[in-house]
Copies of this chain bind each other. A is one copy, B any other.
């Protein structure tokens, strides 16, 4: 009994080794873990209104039964929903749906595209991705290695319902990113591009937020007058690729759209 099992294990390992060593690395996108799949499902059900604000989600045990999982796994999924602000939990009561986190969730992990929704967002490339040198990035120190390879630099203006709201400057170390500068970013998420073509996932990061007044250039892009208050966010994005971070500076006109997030 034990022997058969052992054998199975070994052959699986062998298979994996061949799998990863020879070529089809592109397909190596591992299937998402159970807890993540459940998270996506529940999230969708909340987003499409199947569960409304104030509703109780099925209890953890019910979810276990329905999806053939155990409680720790289910709880893992629910933890993610809590972190995103979709639900809150009360001991003895259940998981209470909070509804969709409103507004522009730029403060959280999502990129601008997914935070706003593609329908209303258009992107205008002001400076096309090109390779430059750099010494620092919006106050964040960069490594010597990053310096030596230079960075991919670009500027984009993002409009919500045709009103200019964000101005992004992005700097990405030019490391193992073949053909990046030739890829189109028009109406496409940068995060998605990195994930799909380069297997780079943004895992988190650091941000600095401050209020400034618009300079000449920003005034023009946003079509606002002198002394108009602007919110600036300097961000460092950390990824699943060790020691690979990239940086962006975002100017936001918050007159019509304020930044909303959970904490």
Chain A contacts to B: CB under 8 angstroms: 72, 82-83, 85, 88, 90, 93, 101, 103, 107-109, 203-213, 227, 229-231, 235, 238, 242, 252, 254, 258-263
**Contact across chains for B262 and A211 when beta carbons are under 8 A apart:** no
Partner of A227, one of B82, B227, B230: B227
Closest chain B residue, CB of each to CB of A89 = B203
Given known A88-B238, A231-B231, A242-B90, contact A209–B263 (CB-CB < 8 A): no
This chain: how many copies in the complex? 2
**9 smallest beta-carbon distances between A and B, as pairs:** A210-B254, A211-B229, A210-B258, A211-B231, A211-B211, A227-B227, A229-B229, A209-B259, A208-B258
Given known A206-B262, A262-B205, contact A213–B231 (CB-CB < 8 A): no
Closest chain B residue, CB of each to CB of A93 = B242
**Contact across chains for B263 and A108 when beta carbons are under 8 A apart:** yes
Partner of A263, one of B93, B101, B205, B260: B205
Interfacial chain B residues near A242, Cβ < 8 Å: 90, 93
**Contact across chains for B204 and A85 when beta carbons are under 8 A apart:** yes
Tell me, in angstroms, the Cα distance from A109 to B229 when the chains sit together. Answer: 26
Tell me, in angstroms, the Cα distance from A207 to B261 when the chains sit together. Answer: 5
Tell me, in angstroms, the Cα distance from A259 to B232 when the chains sit together. Answer: 11
